[in-house]
């Protein structure tokens, strides 16, 4: 297990290195066109990572891992006091998985951001589908270039009910207008590789501006598929008037309910001698519950539960 964890961490660091190199390359390219890598504007006049205390609230409904999931979501993003080139965002979600299971999630972003260049930070989240749960921790990055955004997160999935494994989310987004974007992406979950497409649209509603509708659809290995749509309302003291400005000035991407994918195929190991060694963030122990791919469950002799 330790070897597996070390390998996963090495992969996460390698992926972060690639993203950092891309960010450096993007900044250098900007410099070639007359934009310096380091903003010469006095720090007091530079744009902050988050332009005020901003909130998002909404509802999402759809299917994850082949089962229905409905959740209420809420987020708050804020600049750091005295260091407003850095920001933080907390995401929360609570809902219902299938008919009688609770689903819940939380995420935390800590990041540096220049709205004219990109974002770089650390990210962690936790996902729960009663009674299984798992955590993810890694590095988050984004590059902004006109109507294009390349963003992603890469790190390690860990917890009491999953094997310690590398994960990633990478998306290439394009703003067809300042209020409508589409993206294609890749996910690596405990169930394998997944392809993703998504959209978000924020209509111009004058004084009621801030509402948006969004959706995602994805499918991949291990017979995994998911699709959901959501409605959210963004409010606070942000000066962002468009979806593009909001995404780059107000709040980073909310990765809920995406993170629930890793706990959508689970089973009980029948032989105590084959219980898997796991770390729940605080202690290491052996457990009979395992979530992952069908091959993972077969390897440990786990019988998939019938939700």
Alpha carbon separation from 134 to 44, 67, 241, 289, 307 (Å, rounded): 41, 18, 36, 12, 18
Q: Are residues 107 and 249 in the same domain?
A: yes
Residues 225 and 142 in one domain: yes
| 166 and 280 co-located in one domain | no
Cis, peptide link before residue 131, omega less than 30° from 0: yes
pLDDT attached to residue 3: 44
173 and 258 inside one domain: yes
Distance separating alpha carbons of residues 163 and 267, to the nearest angstrom: 13
- What is the spatial distance between Cα 289 and Cα 251, in angstroms, rounded to a whole number? 36
Q: Which pLDDT band holds residue 241 (cuts at 50, 70, 90)?
A: confident
Please check whether residues 232 and 283 belong to one and the same domain.
no
pLDDT interval class at 5 (50, 70, 90)? very low
* CATH number for the domain that contains residue 36: 2.40.160.40
- Number of other residues whose CB lies within 10 A of the CB of residue 214: 19
Q: Do residue 277 and residue 188 come from a single domain? A: no
Q: How far is CA 51 from CA 107, 109, 113, 193, in A?
A: 20, 16, 11, 35
Q: Say if residue 182 is in the same domain as residue 218.
A: yes
Residue 277: which domain range?
A: 266-291+300-304
* Average pLDDT for the chain: 86
What is the structure's pLDDT at 200?
97
* Pair 224, 83 in one domain: yes
Residue matched to tokens 């987020």: 75
| Spatial contact of 57 and 96, defined as CB atoms under 8 Å apart | no
Tens of pLDDT, residues 153-173: 999 999 989 999 999 999 999
Rounded to whole angstroms, the Cα distance separating 75 from 180 reads 21
Residue 191 phi/psi, 5-degree rounding, is -95, -5
| pLDDT, tens digit (0-9, with 9 covering 90-100), for 183-233 | 999 999 999 999 999 999 999 876 568 899 999 999 999 999 999 999 999
* pLDDT digits 0-9 by tens, 250-271: 999 999 999 999 999 999 999 9
Q: How far apart are CA 279 and CA 300, in angstroms?
A: 17
- pLDDT: which is higher, 227 or 34: 227
Sorted by sequence, the CB contacts under 8 Å of residue 45 that are 6+ apart come out as none
Question: What does the pLDDT look like over 62-82, one tens digit per residue?
Answer: 999 999 999 999 999 999 988
What is the rounded average pLDDT of the residues 46-67? 92
**In terms of domains, do 169 and 143 share one?**
yes
Q: What is the pLDDT of residues 94-122, one digit of tens each?
A: 999 987 889 999 999 999 999 999 999 99
Q: Give how far Cα 212 sits from Cα of 70, 71, 76, 184, 241, Å.
A: 18, 16, 17, 19, 12
The residue that leads in pLDDT, 32 or 163, is 163
| One domain for residues 143 and 112 | yes
Please indicate, yes or no, whether residues 238 and 273 belong to a single structural domain of this protein.
Answer: no
Tell me the three state secondary structure of residue 187. Answer: strand
Are both 62 and 117 inside the same structural domain?
Answer: yes
In the chain, the number of structural domains is 2
User: What is the pLDDT, as a whole number, of residue 130?
Assistant: 86
Q: What percent of the chain has pLDDT over 70?
A: 83
Q: What mean pLDDT do residues 118-132 have?
A: 95
Q: Which of the four pLDDT bands, split at 50, 70 and 90, describes residue 234?
A: very high
pLDDT, mean of residues 138-152: 98
131: tokens are 């009674």
For the chain, what is the total number of helices (H) and then of strands (E)? 3, 17
């Amino acid at each position: 297990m330790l070897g597996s964890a070390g390998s996963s961490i090495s992969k996460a660091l390698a992926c972060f290195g690639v993203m950092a190199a891309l960010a450096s390359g993007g900044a250098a390219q900007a410099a070639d066109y007359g934009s310096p890598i380091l903003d010469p504007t006095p720090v007091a006049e530079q744009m902050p990572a988050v332009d005020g205390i901003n909130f998002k609230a909404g509802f999402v409904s759809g299917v994850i891992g082949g089962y229905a999931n409905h959740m209420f979501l809420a987020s708050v993003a804020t600049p750091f006091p005295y260091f407003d080139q850095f920001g933080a965002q907390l995401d929360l979600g609570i809902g219902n998985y299938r008919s009688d299971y609770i689903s819940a999630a939380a995420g935390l972003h800590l990041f540096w951001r220049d709205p004219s260049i990109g974002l770089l930070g650390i990210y962690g989240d936790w996902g729960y589908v009663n009674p299984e749960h798992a955590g993810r921790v890694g590095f988050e990055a984004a590059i902004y270039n006109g109507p294009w955004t390349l963003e992603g997160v890469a790190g390690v999935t860990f917890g009491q009910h999953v094997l310690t494994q590398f994960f990633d989310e990478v998306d290439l987004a394009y703003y067809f207008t300042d209020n409508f974007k589409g993206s294609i992406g890749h996910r690596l979950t405990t169930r394998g590789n997944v392809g993703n497409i998504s959209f978000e649209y924020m209509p111009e509603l004058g004084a009621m501006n801030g509402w948006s509708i969004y959706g995602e659809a994805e499918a991949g290995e291990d017979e995994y598929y998911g699709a959901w749509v959501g409605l959210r309302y963004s409010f606070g003291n942000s000066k962002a008037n468009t979806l593009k400005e909001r995404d780059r000035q107000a709040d980073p991407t909310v990765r809920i309910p995406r993170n629930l994918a890793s706990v959508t195929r689970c089973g009980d190991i029948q032989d105590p001698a084959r219980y898997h060694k796991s770390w729940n963030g605080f202690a290491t122990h052996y457990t009979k519950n395992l979530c992952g791919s069908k091959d993972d469950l077969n390897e440990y002799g786990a019988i998939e539960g019938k939700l």
